[in-house]
Chains A and B, each alone.
Chain A
Amino acid sequence: MIRKRLIVLFLAPASLLYGGLFLLPTLSTFYFSLFNWSGFGQDMTFVGLNNYVRLFNDTVFWLSLRNTLAILFVGGFFVFGLAFLYTVLITSGIWGKKFFRLVFFLPNVVSVVALAGMWAYIYNPRSGLINTTLSTIGLDSMAKTLWTSPNNIFWAMLAALVWVFTGFFLILLMAGVDKIPTDTYEAADLEGASLWQKFWFITVPMLWDVMTISFVIWMINAIKMFEFPYAFGFLQVPQQLYTLGIYLYIMGFGQRDPIYQLGYATAIGVVMLVLTFVLIVVMRRLLRREQLEF
């Protein structure tokens, strides 16, 4: 029996820190988003839903939203396509399974800033890894591609992002595959099932729960995406790379010059939170189905 005194004592520190520095600040953004507020220590003027009306008419906001959704859906398509492909390949009985898992997951333990620096160089037009390798193997016309020109930079960033996150979801899916009883596959092998049939009729249904959680994790991560595109843009992040998180930061703090549109910035934060929770609810609805027994 755990006494009440101990319950309170054990819960108080975590609740205070979490409540005071995480939950309440989050809720306070709803309040701040109703004000015109041009700097810490400045007066706040109540403007109602004006900030949201402004967002609706702000082309940069729509661009940031479009980029965020492109990360979520286009990026997600490739992340999960590749994570599934490589889960099947790595668990198909090839030698060195653990080593491959280690390498695929590696980008997830390394500083995002370091990765951004690395990728800037991979894409470097004159001396980067891609163009150098292309010209070494004789593809000289392709070796002149400017991977980070304004038209390409978002997709270049997204490719790097896919490289990072594929490894993350690969280890989740592989852990799910490890839980599937091996005799299921052995039975399928006896029946002469192909790799594709085994994937579609055994792996996918058995992995449903892991998939649902993976999709939710990806959704949360995609909507709050800030660090990688921000570091990838270096000193002056180009608008082509803006996500909701980056636009919020720019509106709140600016880059080289401060902007301090704090009320407006918090309204972007509210949009991010609402988007996250709406999409999670919609997705859980879509993916809900009978619990599978095995």
Chain B
Amino acid sequence: MTDTTVAARRQPRLPGWVRRLPAYILVWAWTAFTLAAILYVVMSALKTKREVLRSGWNLPQEWVWSNFATAWTVGRLGEYFINSLLVVGVSVFAILLVSTPAAYVLARARFRGRETLTNLFVIGMGIPIPMLFIPIFGILSYLRLSDSLTGLSLVFIAISIPVTIYLLTGFFASLPSELEAAAVLEGCNDFQVFWHVMLPLAMPGVLTALILNLIWLWNEYQLSLVILNSPQNRTLPLGLYSLQNAMQYTGDWPGMFAGVTIVIIPTIIAYALLSEKMIAGMTMGAVK
């Protein structure tokens, strides 16, 4: 009796690929849109001013590679690329230099006020950045560092500390304590334990923090907008922003797209190479 009821209740099953067809269609719709949007931009960067306004999805009639050269030199993206490289490079190095030891101590040392201090660092992740616009501009003017890449670097370091410490504290806390104890028995002092034992173990975490900070700061735009003023100091996102604004007057859409392409292609290549690491880093703090 049971056999027949079970058989009657069981629904006829379609083959797997048919059941998954709606999923494929919906997922591909989103994916196709994203890829098409990027392709459209890159394609438009290679057209002439006139062609871009009417040819739509057609391929460029003649491939105008000079649009890239124009954005790079006349649009000064070349200079801004160097500025970004400098600011982001120095900042990320300094962020890790100050955050890694701090995270280590917050995760592994025992002292009064440790939790309060950790919370004080972590709370920074909830502070809305626009709140800083005015006091930061004031402080940097006072230090005579406004409108300078040095000033911007200092601010970049400060705003990246909370999330970096949050990530690294979690990472250090998850390391086993046996190796630490063994190193102490071997006669290592506390600095040597950190330097020779714990830091090497934490390297995957440090690397993740490095990549995440690299991406965030490479694209950072709001504080740069507040702090930097002179055209020669612009970072890449600011340079692109001014290129886009100039385009409003000149109508040079292909020039703007050449700029957008120059800005996004390196990030997309880096992302294609490092995406697993980046995604793992993004989810590391949120999903335990």
Contacts and interface: CB of A to CB of B under 8 A. Distances in A.
A245 B130 contact: yes
Given A2-B108, A127-B54, A93 B158 contact: no
A252 interface: yes
A265 B226 CA distance: 14
Nearest to A262: B134
A129 interface: yes
A172 B283 contact: yes
Given A111-B221, A117-B240, A172-B287, A269 B20 contact: no
B98 A14 contact: yes
A2 B283 contact: no
A185 to B, nearest CB: 15
A171 B271 CA distance: 15
Interface in B258-288: 259-260, 263-264, 267-268, 270-272, 275, 278-279, 282-283, 286-288
Interface residue tally on B, bucketed by range: 35 or more
Interface in A116-166: 116-118, 120-122, 126-127, 129, 132-133, 136, 163
For chain A, what secondary structure do more than half of its interface residues adopt (helix, strand, loop), or is it mixed? helix
Given A2-B105, A25-B136, A103 B221 contact: no
Nearest to B279: A171
Interface in B1-49: 9-11, 16, 20, 23-24, 26-27, 30-31, 34-38, 40-41, 44
For chain B, what secondary structure do more than half of its interface residues adopt (helix, strand, loop), or is it mixed? helix
Interface in B125-171: 125-139, 141, 154-155, 157-159, 161-162, 165
Given A26-B132, A118-B260, A244-B130, A17 B154 contact: yes
B126 A136 contact: no
Interface in A29-84: 29, 32, 40-41
A213 interface: yes
Interface string A170-203: 0110011001000000000000100000000000
Contacts of B194: 6
A15 B98 CA distance: 9
A84 B143 CA distance: 48
A29 B131 contact: yes
Nearest to A82: B30
A28 B71 CA distance: 41
Contacts of B56: 127, 132, 136
A197 to B, nearest CB: 13
Interface string B109-127: 1110000010011001111
Contacts of B165: 14
Contacts of A126: 53-54
A252 B111 CA distance: 42
Contacts of B286: 172, 175, 210, 213-214, 217
Contacts of B10: 192
A117 B244 contact: yes
B104 interface: yes
B19 to A, nearest CB: 9
A6 B165 CA distance: 17
Interface string A81-94: 00001100110111
A220 interface: yes
B219 interface: yes
A122 B23 CA distance: 26
A23 interface: yes
Interchain residue pairs A-B with the least CB separation, the first 7 = A224-B128, A21-B158, A25-B135, A269-B131, A10-B101, A245-B130, A14-B102
Given A94-B27, A100-B31, A171-B282, 5 more contacts: A14-B161, A17-B98, A86-B26, A168-B282, A227-B222
Interface of B: 9-11, 16, 20, 23-24, 26-27, 30-31, 34-38, 40-41, 44, 52-54, 56-57, 97-99, 101-102, 104-106, 108-111, 117, 120-121, 124-139, 141, 154-155, 157-159, 161-162, 165, 184, 190-191, 194, 215, 218-219, 221-222, 225-226, 236-238, 240-241, 244-245, 248, 253, 256-257, 259-260, 263-264, 267-268, 270-272, 275, 278-279, 282-283, 286-288
Interface of A: 1-4, 6-7, 9-11, 13-15, 17-18, 20-26, 28-29, 32, 40-41, 85-86, 89-90, 92-94, 100-107, 109-114, 116-118, 120-122, 126-127, 129, 132-133, 136, 163, 168, 171-172, 175-176, 179, 192, 209-210, 213-214, 217, 220, 223-224, 226-227, 230-231, 234-235, 244-245, 248-249, 252-253, 262, 265-266, 269-270, 272-273, 276-277, 280
15 contacts: A10-B102, A18-B124, A21-B154, A86-B27, A113-B241, A117-B41, A117-B259, A117-B260, A122-B40, A129-B37, A129-B40, A249-B133, A265-B134, A276-B126, A276-B128
